A and B are shown apart, each in its own frame.
Chain A
Amino acid sequence: MTERVPILRIGDLLLVSIQIDLQDQSAIALQEDLAEQISATGATGVIIDISAVDIVDSFIGRMFATIASLSRLFDADTVVVGMRPAVAITLVELGLSLGEVRTALDLERGMKILRELRPERRGPFDGDSGAVVATT
């Protein structure tokens, strides 16, 4: 059984918080689910929270890059937030720069980056948009 990572919708944003030890099939499923959800909801931003992730290897790193390119095709921006220091050190030594993936220290800064990229974006604290679970 492939474990699925939930995707939460907050205003114009989709939030993914990876809380499991991600196996490759789950990573592939997440890419597909996100593409579907961005297309279905018209989300303009994706935040991937990896503060609970204790390793990022080349497969998971490639998943971030794939999600970033995918969301770009739907005119959405992706930010990876909350990378642990030990993970960052390991990634650099592994040779994975994640150059094409936007990153931020934490969720708050990630949201700020997305807001600056697109000032008209509706965040969770603007207007009437409550948090809605968007996964099927």
Chain B
Amino acid sequence: MTSPSGSAEDVAISTDGDVVRVRQLVRNYAIQAKLSLVDQTKLVTATSELARNTLVYGGGGVATVQAVTDGRRTGVRASFHDDGPGIPDTTLALADGWSSGKGLGLGLSGARRLVDDFDLDTEVGRGTSVTVVKWSR
């Protein structure tokens, strides 16, 4: 069971400078949670992809970063929410190489590979939420 172990911090995502801010915030949380350097790098890279998705495809949104625990391990949870167009076909969107044209098609599928838990919640016309967790080992 994943439960919060500290207060959450929000970052509004409306410019590509905000993507950098998300990366820096996630990095700080990852250090606090005692993730290894490789795991920090994986999590920060994944959240960079997701924050950019929120900006480019979701038309902006908000990232929420929080320290979590499952009783045994510490970790970092990062959520990305937008009220954009949503993703019509999530299976396709999570396949390698799928892209609506602006990227390499690695954003979602690549981010999923870099984290321990990955949850995608999207509805056409309503928006998209992606939540990821990376645990210390």
Question: CB-CB contacts of A8-42 with B at 8 A, as 1s and 0s?
Answer: 00000000000001111100000000000000000
Closest-CB distance, B104 to chain A (whole angstroms): 5
Contacting residues, chain B, for A58 (C-beta < 8 A): 49, 103-104, 106-107, 110
Given contacts A86-B37, A89-B41, are A55 and B109 in contact (CB under 8 A)?
no
The number of residues on chain A lying at the interface, defined by a beta carbon within 8 Å of a beta carbon of chain B, is 23
Q: Which A residues lie within 8 Å of B52 (CB)?
A: 24, 57, 59
Please, how many angstroms separate the alpha-carbon atoms of A115 and B117 in the complex?
46
Contact with A along B91-116 (1 / 0, CB 8 A): 00000100000011011011101100
A89: which B residues are within 8 A, CB to CB?
38, 41-42
Q: Mark A54-82, 1 if CB is under 8 A from B, else 0.
A: 11111101100000000000000000000
Q: Decide if A133 is an interface residue (CB 8 Å cutoff).
A: no
Q: Which of A23, A58, A62, A93 has the most CB of B within 10 A?
A: A58
Q: Mark out the residues of chain B between 39 and 60 whose CB falls within 8 Å of any chain A CB in the assembled complex.
A: 40-42, 44-45, 48-49, 52
Using known A-B contacts A55-B45, A94-B114, determine if residue A86 contacts B109 with beta carbons closer than 8 Å: no
Give A85's nearest chain B residue, CB to CB.
B38
Q: Which residues of B lie under 8 Å from residue A85 when comparing CB positions?
A: 38
Query: Taking chain B's interface residues, is the majority helix, strand, or loop, or is none over half, making it mixed?
Result: helix
- Tell me the smallest distance from the CB of B17 to a CB of chain A, in Å: 6
Contact yes or no, B104 A87, CB < 8 A: no
Question: Pick the contact of B16 from A23, A56, A86 — CB < 8 Å?
Answer: A23
Number of residues of chain B lying within 8 A (CB) of chain A: 27
Quick check: B19 and A23 within 8 Å, CB to CB?
yes
Which residues of B sit under 8 angstroms from A59, Cβ to Cβ? 48, 52, 103
Beyond A25-B16, A59-B103, A94-B45, 4 additional pairs, beta carbon < 8 A: A21-B20, A55-B23, A55-B45, A58-B106
